[in-house]
Amino acid sequence: LAWPITISMLSFTAMSLADTLFVGRLGTEPLAAVGLSTSVTFLALAFGMGIMGGVKVAVAQRTGAGDVQGARTLGWQGLWLALALGAPVAGLVFVGAPLFRLLGAEGELLEMADAYFAWRVVGAPLTFGFLALKAFFEGRGDTRTPMVANLIANGLNVALDPIFIFGWGWVPALGVGGAAAATVIALGVAALYLATRAVDGLWRSGVSRRIDRGLLRSVWRFGSPMGTRQVLGVGAWVLLVSVLARVGAVDLAAHVMVIRIVSVSFLPGYAIGDAASVLVGQLVGAGARGEVHRAARNAMGLGIGVMAAFGLLFVLVPGLLVAPFGVEPEVAAMARRLLLVAAAMQVFDAVAMVAQGALNGAGDSRFVMVTTVVGSWCVQLPLAVLLAVPLGMGAVGAWLGIAAEVAVVAAISWH
């Protein structure tokens, strides 16, 4: 289960990494704008993403119980939810500029951040549709089909990025907004691919395509705590990014770069936690509760091994990892320091993500929500702000606050 999800998540990360690499050629301020806008975009999408996680858990438990028809009907509920949640998010296109102004952005930084945000929220129905279909496949144990979809999306995004960002032929140069446009188009094509592959599962005769309130309640029971957790967790992250925006463009740009680099290690760990969620959900549905702890322990060992290896790279070759971005020397120097902090928290991050994935699969998403919210708002945010601003440590102080939060969440979740 884990390796195709890992490839999928790495591919999804590569889309953001490609955006950052191309936008980095435009300068420090455009790179900072992407960092600020990406955080706000994820805040807008966060609740819907959590609900789609609930679709996956519900499908996994129905699959484990042998209820094939119920799992297929849940796939349709996910698509209806994608439409219902995507429409209001798309309406946020009109509030981008005031929101970024409130977060401390001004001038060209504000304009570029708003352009990126506008494209991403307008594409929200496509994003949620893609996530709903992905949840349907993964919940049934088919992680390879979403992997192929992610690879298709990534390849298309890389091809479209330079065209839309810098312009080519009849396509005007859209700058930062072009990176978002390429991502939305790529996700739409990936969703179309998954829809064609789901013909046997969702369009088969006898599968109910109507809204089923009972199944929607099941999805809501699993997904609403995940969505709330996503919103509050990303909300704390947006406030942290806004603090860095006020500290300066160098700190924010370095933060954006390191997030992209660290996500190459973070998302495989997250994917292993995702695999644990699917496996635990199926075991719970099958009534094989005795196997749940063994599955979680094996996933934990795998996650720690992968992320510890990446942490070693962050320590040994930070300059090599930063070099491809081609940023200014002061940004690169700051990024190298942040990578050392990131290396120190890799193992804790693995423990937190796998433990929370297993708990979500078991249906205990409320506990995961509480621990994440406590970690984000009571540990990460106050400590990061204190170290970054009053104590003058800038982005390094913010990342020390992040590391402290990860360690606390890891200890609580695995216990």
Question: 102-134: per-residue pLDDT in tens?
Answer: 877 778 888 888 999 999 999 999 999 999 999
CA-to-CA distance for 364 and 359, rounded, in angstroms?
5
- pLDDT recorded at residue 238: 75
In this model, does residue 391 exceed pLDDT 80? yes
Angle between the N-to-C axes of helices 346-361 and 394-414, in degrees from 0 to 180, rounded to the nearest 10:
40
Question: 280-297: per-residue pLDDT in tens?
Answer: 888 888 888 778 888 888
CA-to-CA distance for 219 and 242, rounded, in angstroms?
33
Question: 210-236: per-residue pLDDT in tens?
Answer: 888 888 888 888 888 888 888 888 778
- Other Cβ atoms closer than 10 A to 224: 17
Higher pLDDT, 81 or 255: 81
Residues contacting 95, CB < 8 A, separation 6+? none
Among 236, 272, 401, which residue's Cα sits nearest to residue 8? 272
CA-to-CA distance for 126 and 217, rounded, in angstroms?
23
CA-to-CA distance for 398 and 404, rounded, in angstroms?
10
Among 56, 77, 79, which residue's Cα sits nearest to residue 227? 56
CA-to-CA distance for 147 and 56, rounded, in angstroms?
15
Q: Are the beta carbons of 127 and 47 closer than 8 angstroms?
A: no
Between the CA atoms of 214, 291, 142 and 3, what dihedral angle is there, to the nearest 10 degrees?
A: 140
Helix (H) or strand (E) holding 140: none
Among 193, 255, 263, which residue's Cα sits nearest to residue 32? 255
Residues of the chain with pLDDT > 70, as a percent, come to 98
- Other Cβ atoms closer than 10 A to 163: 16
Among 382, 379, 380, 360, which residue's Cα sits nearest to residue 369? 360
Between the CA atoms of 282, 71, 185 and 25, what dihedral angle is there, to the nearest 10 degrees?
A: -10
Please return the burial class of 367, using the count of CB atoms within 10 Å of its CB with bins 0-12, 13-18 and 19+. middle
What residue type is 2 in one-letter code? A
pTM of the complete model: 0.77
CA-to-CA distance for 129 and 82, rounded, in angstroms?
5
When mean pLDDT is compared across 7-16, 163-172, 189-198, 299-308, the lowest value belongs to 7-16
The per-residue DSSP string of 204-242 comes to: STT---S--HHHHHHHHHHHHHHHHHHHHHHHHHHHHHH
